[in-house]
Amino acid sequence: MKFHFSRLKIWQKSHALTLDIYQITKAFPKHELFGLTSQIRRSASSVPANIVEGYSRKGNKEFIQFLYQARSSLDETIYFLILSFDLDYINQEKYEELIDKASVLMKMLNSFISKVKKN
């Protein structure tokens, strides 16, 4: 079953990033399960979740508010990726791949926010 929000490119990209985050954190140390693993998963999944919640609201003002929250969660995810790399939980190649995906998503989110504001 397709949902209307699933047609949004920003949702598709953020969902894909979330899946990537879940995949890499499977290899994180067990002692991080309730620490960094939980935090990065929550921040990553908060991005598409906020897009969905905002999309279901009645007006653009509320939608924009949730898009800003999604952007903040993405910033938090980027920080946790940096921390994961610095702690040697992910290698350079995976780090760069995920940072690139997050950067593209950030540009898309900023552009989408501007577009929604104009309407």
Q: CA torsion, points 105, 69, 11, 23, in degrees to nearest 10? A: 70
Residue type, 36: L
Architecture of domain 4-118: Up-down Bundle (1.20)
| Domain residue limits, the chain | 4-118
pLDDT tens-place string over residues 69-78: 999 999 999 9
**Contact between residue 103 and residue 82 where contact means Cβ atoms under 8 Å apart:** no
pLDDT tens-place string over residues 79-94: 999 999 999 999 999 9
> Rounded to two decimals, what is the model's pTM?
0.95
